[in-house]
Amino acid sequence: MKGGKLWALHFFAGFVLFFLLFAHISLMHFSAGAVAPLSDPSNPLSWQSVLARSKDLMMTVIYTLFAGFGLYHGFYGLFGILTEVNALKPYRKAIGVLLTLLGVLLFAYGAFAAWYGYFTLRG
């Protein structure tokens, strides 16, 4: 893949994902309640904890950013892999359109889920 604005955004998305993933793993797997039973409210996977995060504006924004950066980084990387295969080079534009459409649809679904939870549960 040649460098450019899209590649720079891919690189930046990977950089941001590194920190978001570190925070996610720290919260979900290494927090004090991570070893508690699911019925324990201190467990980050308990229903009470999930609802509390869903009501939090900052967590909703973080989930939306995580989905956006993750999808962009993943689909741009997949595009690069697929278009470097000689047999697929003639389909470069079609692959780009298909991956872009799929990425936008998945992002819309993820963002809708995060924001729907925020707006319906915070009441």
Query: Can you give the residue ranges of every domain in the chain?
Result: 5-121
d(CA 55, CA 32): 21
- Domain 5-121 falls under CATH 2.60.120: no
Average per-residue pLDDT for the chain:
91
pLDDT digits (tens, 9 = 90+) for 21-72: 999 999 888 888 888 888 888 888 888 888 999 999 999 999 999 999 999 9
pLDDT of residue 58: 94
Q: Which residues lie closer than 8 Å to 13 by C-beta, 6 or more apart?
A: 69, 70, 72, 73, 76
Return left, alpha or beta for 4; rule: phi > 0 is left, psi -120 to 50 is alpha, else beta.
left
